[in-house]
Structure 1
Amino acid sequence: MFVITADQIGSRTDRDRAGEMIAALDAEFSPAFILPPDQTAGDEIQLLLRDAATTLAVLLALHRDSHWSIGIGIGEVRTPLPASTRQASGGAFVAARAGVTRAKKAEARFALAVDLAPGAGSRGGAGVGESGGGSALNAEEVEALITTLLLLRQRRTKEGWAAVDLLQGGLSQVEIAALLGISTAAVSQRIHSALWRVDQSAQPALVRLLENLEHATTETDPAT
């Protein structure tokens, strides 16, 4: 499973943003949450998800908001599940805690950690603090690729985001140009400068890599 722990940046000098962030995420991704999103240690939020695609989408939403250090933890979660996310426990939660701690000093304010189950093979991932092995990418390598995407998106201008959001909303470039009061050539340039196609091409590959890491947390090594 996937756990996201996000800690508000500069919370001592800013208002509490946890409640509104939880509401926004719940409105967009509610069916994907295994348990309702929770506010834990004051300005911190915690999310429990089952699928990699939504995990990446939530990460991108949190990062775009720009007020969060974000850790993703991948691993087992103890069952039966409690009534709330804050009461849940397991390796995925330990990994997410390690991730968010490192994220506070990371350039993109993001870190990824995987907690391998006892006897799990090393293919596809690494345990907390380990580098892993095998031919598949480990957690550190997947973290680096996701960080690259986050930094790419971080450089996108407000004008670039406006064009990309409308494009993702189903509008054509002609319609976007009319709505924004600019030429279609200007719309095309904004989308190009925003590296939208690179962004869209990278996301499915990153989802597969996250799925591989999650699979590695439950895959038992045949030699054990």
Structure 2
Amino acid sequence: MFVLTVDQRRSRERDDLVEATMAALNRDARRPLRLAFDRTAGDEMQAVTDNPATASAIALELAASGQWSVGIGVGMVREPLPDNTRAGAGEAFGRARAAVTAAKAAPGHIAVSGASVLAGQAEAVLQLVASVAHKRSRLSVEAGLLIDQGLTQQEAAERLGISQQAVSARLHSGLWHESRRAAEVAAALLEGADA
């Protein structure tokens, strides 16, 4: 099981982003959660999933924004699961707490804690992908998000009013395809860490 504990960075200097972010994540049917995101304290939220791709995708999305520190705890949770994460217990919850603390000073603001060496390997890949994503230009992100929505490069080019070659160049400069493959590796490593 995977517990995501997410803490808003520099929350004293910014508006509270927790409610709006939780609402968006909880209604995303592409990412199955066993327990939906719930505010656990102040500027922090937490969710539970048994899907490693979901854990990886949410962690990368939040960490790449630069607004969140993200911890993923890998391990057992006490079943049956309660109605909300605040009442949850088990190894993965404790590990998620340690991971989010580590994430505050980690590359890419993301950390993974699990008993398996694979958790550390997943962390390394996720940190690299989050760091790359955080350094992308606005133009690269704009093109990449359209591709992630399922548009072809030509369709993205038409939407952006640029050439297909320009879209390709933006994806290339942002290491978009490489990052997508690396995220798949991270999800596979998380799955192995939970085995």
Q: Normalising by structure 2, what TM-score?
A: 0.93
Q: Secondary structure at the match of 2:35?
A: coil
* Alignment partner, residue 16 of structure 1: 16
1:101 aligns to 2:101 (yes or no):
yes
In structure 2, relative to structure 1, the CA distance for the partners of 1:142 and 1:168 (3 Å cut) is closer
Q: CA deviation at 1:62?
A: 1.1
Q: Is there any run of 5+ residues in structure 1 with no aligned partner, and where?
A: 117-124, 126-136, 216-224
CA RMSD of aligned residues (A): 1.5
Q: Is there any run of 5+ residues in structure 2 with no aligned partner, and where?
A: none
Question: How far apart, CA to CA, are the structure 2 residues paired with 1:52 and 1:192?
Answer: 26
Question: How far apart, CA to CA, are the structure 2 residues paired with 1:98 and 1:29?
Answer: 28
* Alignment partner, residue 87 of structure 2: 87
Q: Is the 8 A contact 1:36 1:84 kept in 2?
A: yes
In structure 2, relative to structure 1, the CA distance for the partners of 1:4 and 1:30 (3 Å cut) is same
Equivalent in 137, 147, 154 of residue 174 of structure 1: 154
Q: Secondary structure at the match of 1:28?
A: coil
Kindly name which structure, 1 or 2, has the bigger radius of gyration based on alpha carbons: 1
Q: CA deviation at 1:30?
A: 7.4
Question: How far apart, CA to CA, are the structure 1 residues paired with 2:58 and 2:25?
Answer: 7
Q: Which runs of structure 2 are paired with 1:1-224 in the superposition (5 Å)?
A: 1-29=1-29, 32-114=32-114, 116=115, 125=116, 137-215=117-195
Moved over 3 A (4+): none
| Aligned pairs, number | 195
Q: CA deviation at 1:16?
A: 1.2
Q: Secondary structure at the match of 1:37?
A: strand
Question: How far apart, CA to CA, are the structure 1 residues paired with 2:28 and 2:63?
Answer: 15
In structure 2, relative to structure 1, the CA distance for the partners of 1:31 and 1:204 (3 Å cut) is closer
Q: Secondary structure at the match of 2:22?
A: helix
Question: How far apart, CA to CA, are the structure 2 residues paired with 1:96 and 1:48?
Answer: 10
Identical aligned residues as a percent: 39
Question: How far apart, CA to CA, are the structure 2 residues paired with 1:156 and 1:182?
Answer: 19
Q: CA deviation at 1:31?
A: 6.3
Q: Normalising by structure 1, what TM-score?
A: 0.82
